[in-house]
């Protein structure tokens, strides 16, 4: 599906054993509801998304999130919404409390 493969573990869960643990197994239908879980190297779930079959997934957003989690784990920096590699991040400090809006400006205007 992806040139060169996909360098992240992916899981198929026939029988729903894992889906039951994560709360996405539909026992009546005998299938898992679509779920995406980003689990860090320590085994901690950092993000999850559960969708019904009628709504598609955004692979670009998944890849952006994976890169963001990797960056923050490596640097300790905080990743703002819509961040892309090479874009500014936030460096946590007491001086930043209540002043994030002075440092970070979203690139995409809010839709009304």
- Measure the CA–CA gap between 112 and 80, rounded to whole angstroms: 20
Confidence of residue 92 (pLDDT cuts 50, 70, 90): confident
Burial string for 52-88 (b: 16+ CB within 10 Å, else e) reads eeeeeeeeeeeebbeebbeebeeeebebbeebeeeee
Domain that holds residue 29: 17-103
- Indicate whether 3 belongs to any domain: no
- Indicate whether 79 belongs to any domain: yes
- Indicate whether 27 belongs to any domain: yes
The total number of structural domains in the chain stands at 1
Confidence of residue 91 (pLDDT cuts 50, 70, 90): confident
Residues with Cβ within 8 Å of 47's Cβ and at least 6 positions away in sequence, in order, are 36, 37, 38, 65, 69
At 22, which CATH number? 3.40.30.10
Please tell me the predicted confidence (pLDDT) of residue 14. Answer: 84
Helix (H/G/I), strand (E/B), else coil: 63: helix
pLDDT digits (tens, 9 = 90+) for 10-22: 777 888 998 999 9
- Indicate whether 1 belongs to any domain: no
């Amino acid at each position: 599906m992806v040139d060169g493969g996909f360098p992240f573990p992916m899981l198929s869960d026939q029988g729903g054993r894992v889906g039951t643990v994560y709360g996405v197994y539909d026992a009546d239908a005998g299938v898992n509801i679509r779920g995406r879980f980003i689990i860090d190297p320590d085994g901690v779930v950092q993000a999850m998304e559960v969708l019904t079959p009628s709504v598609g997934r955004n692979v670009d957003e998944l890849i952006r999130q994976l890169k963001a989690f990797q960056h923050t784990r490596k640097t300790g920096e905080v990743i703002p919404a819509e961040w892309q590699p090479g874009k500014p991040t936030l460096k946590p400090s007491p001086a930043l409390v209540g002043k994030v809006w002075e440092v970070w400006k979203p690139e995409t205007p809010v839709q009304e």
